[in-house]
Structure 1
Amino acid sequence: MTRPPSIVVVLSDEHAAAATGAYGHPVVRTPNLDRLAEQGLLFENAYCTSPMCVPSRLSLLSGRYVHEIDAWDNGVVPDASFRSWGHHLRPAGYESVLVGRTHFNGPDRLLGFDRRLSDDLDFWVDHDGRPPARTPGWRRGSNSHVTECGAGEHVHTRHDVATTDQALDHLRQRATDTDETPFLLYVGYMHPHFPLVAPREFAGWYDPAHVPLPPTWQDPPEQQHPVIARLRYGFHNEEPLSPDQVRLATASYWALVSHLDSQVGRLLAAIDGSRLRENTVVVYTSDHGEMAGHHGIWQKQCFYEPAVRVPLLLRLPGHRAPARVTGDVSLVDLLPTLRDLAGLPVDPELPGRSLCGRPDLPPRPAFAEYHAQGMVDGGFMLKRGRYKYCSYVGHRPQLFDLDTDPWERTDLADDPAYADLLADLAGQMERIVSPDVADRRAKADQRRRLGG
C-alpha cells in the first residue's frame, strides 16, 4: 500500500495573483514561487470565497462557503461544530501542525489541529466575537493602509522570519525522524498584508519612479457603482492620492511580496534538500488579494480581480511536467484536494472538488461573498469563464466580460444584449445561495453578537 504523502500548505495574506512572476507580472520578483509553478500545477483562475481575512480562512479550513458556516466577518469565533483540515485528515493518520498566522478567533488555538508551533501576533487575535459596524456612516480611522508605506522595520516581518525558522525546525526533524507518520504542516505568513512597510533590502529592488500606475487608479467615486463608492468612503479610499504616493505604496507592496517569496524559498530548500522531497506535496495560496490602487481602492472587500483572484500552486511528489490550469477553481477546493491526497473518500457535504481530480469534470463557477464593514448590505460574486456577475442586495448588479475588459471598466449589466446571460448567472448563483436570505441571516447573527 502506498504511503500517503506529507503536505505543506503555505498561506500568505493579501497576495493578488497578478503580483507574481509566474502569473505574468513583468516586474515583481518571485523566483521561488516561479520555480514552484514550474514544477507543478498553476491555477490561472483561482478565487477566494470572501475578500476578507477571517471569513476566507474559515471557509478555506472548513471547505465550506461563508454562508454555510456563518463566517460573516473578522469577529466570528468558530463554534464546536467547526471541522478543519485537522479533523478531516485525522482518520488518515496525519499529524496536523500549525505555525504562524492563522487569523482565526477564540480561545481554541488549534481548531482541530494536533499542535501549534507559534501563534498569531497578539493584536490580530480577536476573542470577543464582536462584529464590525455595517452602517452607512461607518468610516475607518484613516487611509494608513496606503499612506503608511516605504522601507523600514516592522513586526510583521519579524513574525514571518520567525515563522519560517520554526517551520524549518519541524521539517528538519521530520526529515531525519524514523517516524513514517504523514504530516500536514500549515505555514501562515503576514506578508504582503499592509501596513506596506517593507524590509530595506527588498524595498531597494523596486524604484517607485518606474512603477506604472493602473489605468483605473483615478476613477472618480461619483461615477462608480454606488456600492463601490460607499466602500471607498468607508475605507478613506475616496481621498485623492498623488501619483508619487501610489507609486511608493505599490513598490512597497511588491517588496513585501518578494520578501514573502524569500521565506517560501527557505521552506523549499529544506524540503528539496532532504528525503522529504520524495513524498511531500507543497501548496501555496493566499486568503485574498489586494486592490493596490485599481479603481482607486486599497485593501480588498470587493469583487474586482485584484481582490478575489489569488495565486494557487500545487506541487506533487516526483518530477512531473508543469501545467497551467485555466478553469475556474475556488479555495473551497483545497480541502477536497487534501482529502484526495490522503486517500480519503469524497465528502459529499463539501461544495468543492479535488484539484487532483479527473480532467473531464465539467466547468464550475467560482463563488464569493462579503458581509462586513464598508458594505451595508450583502455582496455576492459568481465568476464563470469569461464573465463575472456581482449581486448586491438592494442595488443593481454588475456584469463584466474579462476577456474583452480585463480591467473591469465596462459594466454590461444594463445592456439589453446581456439580459439572458445576466438572468442565467443570477439563477446559477441562486442554486448556491439566496442573496436575500444570506443577507438577512448575516445581519441577524451580527445583531445577536452585538447584544441587540
Structure 2
Amino acid sequence: MSRPNILFVMFDQLAALSLAAYGHPLVKTPNFDRLAARGTLFENAYCAAPLCSPSRFGMLTGLLPSRIGAFDNASELPSSVPTFLHILRQAGYRTCLSGKMDFTGADQLHGYEERLTTDLSPSDLGWTPDWDHPGKVEPWYHTLQSVAEAGPCDYSLSLQYDEEATFKARAWLHEQAGARDNRPFMLTLSVMHPHDPYQAPRRFWDLYDEAAIDMPAVPRRRAAQRGPAERRMHALYDRDEIPISDTQVRRARHAYYGMISYCDDLLGRLLDTLQALNKLDDTIVIVTSDHGDMLGERGLWYKMTFFDRAIRVPLIVAGPGILGGRRVSPPVSHLDLMSTFAEMSGVPLDGLAQDGRSLWPTLTRGVQPMGEVRAEYMGEGYQYPTFMLRRGDRKIVCSTDDGVSLFDLAADPRELNDLALTSQHAEELARLTSEIAATWDADALRQQVLASQRRRRLVHAALVTGKVAPWDFEPRQDAASAYYRNYGVDLPDPDAALRLPRKAMS
C-alpha cells in the first residue's frame, strides 16, 4: 500500500474536557464525533507544557521544552533540533503549514517545505518573562477583560485569521491534487480558536441556549481557601481588578462552546475537501490542541497551570491502517508524536534523544501505551520551574515555591483532594518526588531560565532600537501564475486542473 497522506489539525486552547467525544453533554461537535467514531481517541492525552510555544515545540520535537530552551512564549526553537516535519520530509512527504505555530526567531519553517500564511503572534523576543522582577505586570499578560466582554461576534481578528488559514489549506489541497508532484502530503492547519477572547461567531453562539450553559463545577474560592496554583493565577491575571459576575462567567462559557462548534465547522470543511478529492480514505487525520482552558473552574481561566482542564488535550487519529471506534485510556503525551511519525514513515531516529514513545503500535495493533507522561512550566507568573508527572491515575505536581500536590484522578477527577496533605501517602509521595528530582534539577534549571530571559530581553531591546528587521514570515505569491493570469502562453487551462468533477479530456 502507498504511504498515506497526513492532515494534522491543531486548535489553540481547546480543552479535551469541553468536547462531546470526551463526555461533555452540551457542546455540539458532529465532525469531531464522526472522526472519533471511525478512529482512535486518546482519553488522557497531555501537552508538554500548559503554554502555547513550549507545548508546540515539545510536540514537534518529542523533547521536554526545557531540553531545548523553550521556556516560554518568547523562546526560540533551535533550527538544529529535528522536528517531525524534518522526519516526514526526509521520508518523502511534501510538508505544508497553513496558520500559526508560534515560531520565534529567524527560522519560521522548522522542516515545513511550504507555508501559506504568516503567524498570528509575535516572532520576536518581546514576550520574554522577567523572573528577576516577578511582581512586574507586563502589558502582554492576560487579564479578565476577555471574560468581562464575552459574547457573540460578527467579525474579529481571530476569525479573519482562521478563515484565511482554512481557505488557503483547502485551496492547497485542491492544487496538490492536480500537481505533478506525486509525493504524499503532510498538511498542517493550525488556527487560533477557541483561544480567548471569548467571542463566538454569531451563528455558532446561536446554537446554544444561554440558560442551559453549565456553570463551573468547582466555584471560585475565597482568598484564604485558595491553593498555590489559584493564588498564583490570581496574582498573574486577576488581582480583583475586573470584577466578574456569574452572568459574565456563563457568557464566557457560552462563547467558548460556540467557538468550539466553529472549530468543528473548520474541521468539517477540510474533511469535505478531502472527500471531494477522493483523498479521505488514504489520509490519516490527526486532531489535537496545544493546551486546554480552565474556563472559570476554581475561578481560573486560560492555562498556565497543571489542572487537567488546562493541560489535557484532545488527540484523535483516524485513517488508513488506524484502528476504528477505539478509545485508549492510559495517559499519552504530545511528546509521543515524533516517535510515532518516525515509526509510521520508516525513518530511524538513529539514537536521537526522545522523551516520548511511539503510539504507532497502539494506533495499528491495539498495544496499550505505557501510561506515563511528564510536563513542565517555566513561563510568566512563576519564579521557579514547576513539574508534573502522571503515571496511571496518579498525578503529582511539584515546585520549589509551591510545594507538592498529589491527586488520584480516578477517584477525584476534579482534583479537590490533595493526597500530599495526608500522612498515609507519605511513602508514595517521597518516591514520586525523588523521581521528579532525578528527572529535573530544579535549581540548575531556574538559573538557565534566568540567564535565557536576561539574554533575550537585552537582544530584544537592541533589535527594536533603530531600524527594525522583523523575523515575521511573509508568504510568497506569484501573481503572474494566479487564476487566468498569462493563460494561453504555453500554459495549461488552470480551471481544468482544479475543477471538480474533473473536465473530460477530448
Question: What TM-score do you get using the length of structure 1 for normalisation?
Answer: 0.94
Query: Which sits farther off after the overlay, 304-313 or 328-337?
Result: 328-337
- Is the Cα contact below 8 Å between 1:291 and 1:297 reproduced in 2? yes
Equivalent pair of 2:22/2:43 in contact (CA under 8 Å): yes
CA distance in 2, matches of 1:74, 1:433: 21
User: What letter matches 1:142 in structure 2?
Assistant: T
Q: Which residue does the alignment assign to 1:413? A: 420
Contact kept in structure 2, 1:329 and 1:365, CA below 8 Å: yes
SS across alignment from 1:192? coil
Report the more deviating stretch, 14-23 or 199-208: 199-208
Q: Distance in 2 between matches of 1:249 and 1:395?
A: 29
Letter in 2 for 1:351: D
Determine the structure 2 residue equivalent to 1:106. 105
1:379 to 378, 381, 386: 386
What CA distance in whole angstroms lies between the structure 1 residues aligned with 2:234 and 2:290? Answer: 21
Q: Please say if residues 101 and 190 of structure 1, whose CA atoms lie closer than 8 Å, have aligned partners that are also in contact.
A: yes
CA distance in 2, matches of 1:347, 1:237: 50
| Distance in 2 of aligned mates of 1:185 and 1:221 | 47
Q: 2:191 — aligned with what?
A: 189
SS at match of 1:327: coil
Residue of structure 2 in register with 1:23 after alignment: 22
How does 1:67-82 map onto structure 2 within 5 Å? 67-82=66-81
Counterpart selection for 1:213 from 206, 212, 215 = 215
Task: State the distance in 2 between where 1:100 and 1:282 align.
Answer: 17
| Structure 2 CA distance for aligned equivalents of residues 182 and 207 of structure 1 | 44
1:18 corresponds to which letter in structure 2? Answer: L
Match of 2:483 in 1: none
Q: Residue in 2 aligned with 1:315?
A: 318
**Corresponding residue for 2:501?**
none
The one-letter amino acid paired with 2:376 is E
Instruction: Name the CA shift for 1:237/1:354 in 2 (closer, same or farther; >3 Å).
Output: farther
Partner amino acid for 2:384?
D
Query: Partner of 2:16: helix, strand, or coil?
Result: coil
Structure 1 residue 426, shift from structure 2 partner: 1.8
- Residue 163 of structure 1, CA deviation: 1.2
Superposed CA deviations along residues 29-60 of structure 1, whole A, max 9, x for unmatched, are 11101111011010000000000011111111
1:150 equivalent in structure 2: 151
The question of whether the paired residues in 2 share the 8 Å contact of 1:13 and 1:189 is answered with: yes
Matched, 1:357 2:355: no
Q: In the alignment, is the contact (CA less than 8 A) between 2:96 and 2:113 conserved in 1?
A: yes
Decide whether aligned partners of structure 1 residues 319 and 53 sit closer, same or farther in structure 2, where only a CA change above 3 A counts: closer
Q: 1:352–1:220: structure 2 CA closer, same or farther, 3 Å change rule?
A: same
Distance 2:416 2:215 in 1: 15
1:338 and 2:337 correspond: no
Q: What displacement does 1:5 show?
A: 1.5
C-alpha distance 89-237 of structure 1, shift in aligned 2 (>3 A): farther
Q: Unmatched 5+ residue regions in structure 2? A: 460-506
Q: Report whether the alignment pairs 1:133 with 2:136.
A: no
Higher radius of gyration, 1 or 2:
2
How far 1:127 moved relative to its partner? Answer: 1.4
Q: Choose 376-385 or 323-332, whichever is displaced more.
A: 376-385
Look up the match of 1:368: 375
Match 2:437 to one of 430, 433, 440? 430
Match of 2:497 in 1: none
Q: Using the alignment, how far apart are the partners of 1:245 and 1:30 within structure 2? A: 24
Matched to 1:248, the amino acid is R
1:167 aligned counterpart, secondary structure: helix
- Paired position in structure 1 for 2:302: 299
Distance 1:104 1:319, change over 3 A: closer
Deviations 1:282-313 (CA, angstroms, capped at 9, x unpaired): 10000000000111111100000100000000
Is the CA contact 2:5–2:282 (under 8 Å) kept in the aligned structure 1?
A: yes
Q: Give CA-to-partner distance per residue, 1:225-284, whole Å, 9 cap, x none.
A: 234302222111656521111100000011111101100000011113333123211100
Q: Quick one: which amino acid aligns to residue 144 of structure 1?
A: Q
Which of 249, 258, 279 aligns to 1:276? It is 279
In the alignment, the residues of structure 1 paired with residue 406 and residue 149 of structure 2 have an alpha-carbon distance, to the nearest angstrom, of 34
What is the SS of the residue equivalent to 2:421? coil
Q: Percentage identity across aligned positions?
A: 37
Size of the alignment, in residue pairs?
449
**Deviation by residue 1:129-186 (Cα, 9 ceiling, x = unmatched):** 6511334423347322322310112111121111111111111223344532111111
**What is the match of residue 264 of structure 1?**
267
Q: Say if 1:75 and 1:129, in contact at 8 Å, map to a contact too.
A: yes
Aligned position for 1:51: 50
Deviation per CA, 1:370-424: give whole Å up to 9, x if none: 1111112211111111111000123321111111111111111121111111122
Task: Name the CA distance, whole Å, in 2 between partners of 1:289 and 1:310.
Answer: 6
Q: Is the 8 A contact 1:227 1:375 kept in 2?
A: no
Aligned counterparts, 1:181-260, within 5 A? 181-236=183-238, 240-260=243-263
Instruction: Provide the rounded CA distance (Å) in 2 between the counterparts of 1:237 and 1:197.
Output: 23
Shift of 1:362: 6.2
Classify 1:158/1:347 alpha carbon distance in 2 versus 1 (closer, same or farther; 3 Å): farther
Q: Secondary structure at the match of 2:419?
A: coil
Quote how far apart the aligned CAs of 1:222 are: 2.7
Please tell me whether the aligned partners of residues 21 and 30 of structure 1 are also in contact (alpha carbons under 8 angstroms).
yes
Which amino acid in the other structure matches residue 300 of structure 2?
I
Shift of 1:4: 1.8
Partner of 1:161: 163
Q: Is the 8 A contact 2:330 2:368 kept in 1?
A: no
**SS of the residue 1:186 aligns to:** strand
Which residue type is aligned with residue 293 of structure 2?
E
Q: Paired residue for 2:454, among 443, 447, 451?
A: 447
Change (3 A) 1:347 1:194: farther
